[in-house]
Amino acid sequence: MAKKIRSAASTGEPTLEKKHTKSVRQRRFFWIGFGFALPWIIGFCCFKIYPICSAIYYSFTDFNSFRSPNWVRLDNYTNLVQDKYVIKSLKNTAYMVIIGLPISISFAMLMSLVMNIKAKGMPLVRTILYIPAMVPSMASALLFMWLMNSRYGIVNQGLKEFYSIIPQAVKDFLPFSFKPPSWINDPKWTKMTLIIMGCWGCGGTAVIGLAALRGVPTHFYEAAELDGANRWTRFWRITIPLISPTIQFQFIMGIINMFQYFTQAFMFNMFTTTSQVTGGGPSDSLLFYAINLYREAFDYLHMGYACALAMVLFVIVMIVTFVAMKVSNKMVSYDIE
């Protein structure tokens, strides 16, 4: 794209000066680009390089955060491969990325569409939809556990009601007898509970989606309407392509964040198990990669090992993100004419 602009801009100029102008322009653009990116470059040099490099260095040492580290070569990495908690936590994290991410992104997009409905009182509706994301995480986690309580929680009450209106004749054909899930204590359901909780607190992601929807110029819709396109076609042909960069953003950020899933699980484990050591929920079903990493770094003081864990995670996320970028780039269009 950049090339196009440059060549388009220089076509009007005499051919003799072309080469010279080009290099001048190039240099000028370099300084402009550099200047605009300078705050980030400074921040990166001063506050990112050192922490990242030291984390890489520590990953080859037995650093415990107090004593000066000793070089242990690849020991941390070889231990890591045999660590059963690492394998367990990777499985749990993969569940969140593969199952949790699509659910939460689709739900967030749905919410941004709802926020974009034209109706009276929408400012209030938008504010309300954002409330779970504003309430302190402790309060919302507590409330959520109350909602999902398997005995009396609203969710299971609703499920029971729903089951009771199914006619007996149909029930006889069902291969199973219905029992509402134990959302908080059953290792099979705990991760799903966190995913649902994520959907409920999707305000932040939804608001970004809303901003994208707001950015779609209305004349596109007007033109399409004149062409006789119905709502459905307009949605798929105009809305989705135009907000595809945002969807891609949410998708990529979702991958990065899901691999580092921490806060909600940490909170959840804190309320369900009262242990002096960071726990992993029922049968370690909520032992995510970052939880395990935190436990190694701060409960066991294996900072060096935790850094090795972080590096492995970094590589995994990098590969997944790279693939996701390559695949999704084909589906994203930045301009529509």
Partner 1 sequence: MTKRKTSPLLMLKRFVVNVIKYVFLVCLCFIFIMPLLWMLSTSLKANAGLMEFPIKWIPDNPQWGNYAKVFRIVDFGTYIKNTLVTSLTPVLGVLLVTPMVAYSITMVPWKGAKVIFPIILATMMIPGQVTQIPMYITWSKLGLVNTYVPLILPFFLGTPYYIYLMRQFMKGLPNSLVEAARIDGANDLRILFSIIYPLCGPVLTTAGVLVFVGCWNDFSGPLIYIQDSAKYTIAIGLKSFTLSAKTQWELLMAANSVFTVPLIIIFFICQKQFLGGIATTSGLK
Partner 2 sequence: MKKMKKLFAVVLALCMVLALAACGGSDNPDTPDTPNTPSTPNTPSTPETPNNPETPSTPETPADPGEVVEVTVWHQFGETTENGAPHYYYTKWAEEFNATHSNIHVTVTGAKSATDAQTAIAGGSTPDIFMNQWNNAPTWANEGGLLDLTPYYDAAPAEWFNDFVPSVLALCNFNGKYYSVPNSITTTVMFYRDDILAECGWDHHPANTDELLQCIKDCTKADENGDIARLGLLPNMPWFDTVMMPAVFNTQWIADDGVTVPADKEAVAYMFEWIQSVYKLYEDEFGWDYLTVQDFASTVSGNRASASDPVLTGELAMRWNSEGLAGTFAKLVNDPANNLSNVQWSMGLFPNVTGGTEMAMLGGNVWEVNARTEHPDETWEVLQSLTSPETAVEFALGENNNGSFYAHKQALAALAGDLGDQIAAAKENPDEGAQVKKNLEFLCDVFANVPLQSFPTCAYVNEYINALGTYSGEVFAGNMTPMEAVEAIVADIQPLANENPYIPFSYQAK
Two structure tokens written together for 116 = 């974009």
Q: How many residues bind partner 1 (CB under 8 A)?
A: 101
Q: Is 285 helix (H, G, I), strand (E, B) or coil?
A: coil
Using CB under 8 A as the binding rule, whether residue 34 contacts partner 2 is answered as yes
- For residue 246, the partner it binds in partner 2, partner 1, none, with Cβ less than 5 to 8 A by kind, is partner 1
Which among 129, 318, 330 is positioned nearest to 248, based on CA atoms? Answer: 330
Q: How many residues bind partner 2 (CB under 8 A)?
A: 45
Judged by CB under 8 A, which of 246, 264, 269, 278 binds partner 1?
246
Contacts of 135 (CB under 8 A, 6+ apart): 143
Q: Is 110 left (phi over 0), alpha (psi -120 to 50) or beta?
A: alpha
Site string for partner 1, 295-334 (x = CB under 8 A): --xx----x--xx--x--xx--xx--x------------x
Q: What angle do CA 138, 93, 108 make, to 5 degrees?
A: 60
Using CB under 8 A as the binding rule, whether residue 79 contacts partner 2 is answered as no
Which lies closer to partner 2 via its Cβ, residue 44 or residue 334?
A: 44
Using CB under 8 A as the binding rule, whether residue 176 contacts partner 2 is answered as no
Using CB under 8 A as the binding rule, whether residue 149 contacts partner 1 is answered as yes
The stretch among 5-13, 126-134, 190-198, 273-281 that binds partner 2 (CB under 8 A) is: 273-281
Using CB under 8 A as the binding rule, whether residue 277 contacts partner 1 is answered as no
- For residue 136, the partner it binds in partner 1, partner 2, none, with Cβ less than 5 to 8 A by kind, is partner 1
> Partners of 271 in the beta sheet?
none
Which lies closer to partner 1 via its Cβ, residue 150 or residue 174?
A: 150
- For residue 199, the partner it binds in partner 2, partner 1, none, with Cβ less than 5 to 8 A by kind, is none
DSSP H stretches of helix in the chain: 2-10, 15-43, 49-58, 75-82, 84-95, 101-115, 122-134, 137-147, 154-164, 168-173, 190-200, 203-214, 218-226, 231-234, 240-259, 263-272, 289-294, 303-329
Which lies closer to partner 2 via its Cβ, residue 227 or residue 299?
A: 299
Q: How far is the CB of 260 from partner 1 (least distance, A)?
A: 5
The stretch among 74-82, 166-174, 177-185, 249-257 that binds partner 1 (CB under 8 A) is: 249-257
Angstrom distance (rounded) from CA 35 to CA 172? 72
Q: How far is the CB of 274 from partner 2 (least distance, A)?
A: 4
Angstrom distance (rounded) from CA 214 to CA 118? 12
Write the DSSP assignment of 149-212 as a string of letters: -TTT-HHHHHHHHHHHTS-HHHHHH-SS------TTT-TTTHHHHHHHHHHHTTHHHHHHHHHH
- Alpha-carbon torsion 23, 25, 26, 32, what sign? positive
**Interacting residues with partner 1 between 15 and 34 (CB under 8 A):** 26, 29-30, 32-34
**Interacting residues with partner 1 between 184 and 243 (CB under 8 A):** 200, 204, 207-208, 210-212, 214-219, 242
Interface residues with partner 2 (CB under 8 A) are 28, 31, 34-35, 38, 41-42, 45-47, 49-50, 53, 64-68, 142, 145-146, 149-152, 182, 184-186, 272-277, 279-280, 282-284, 295, 298-301
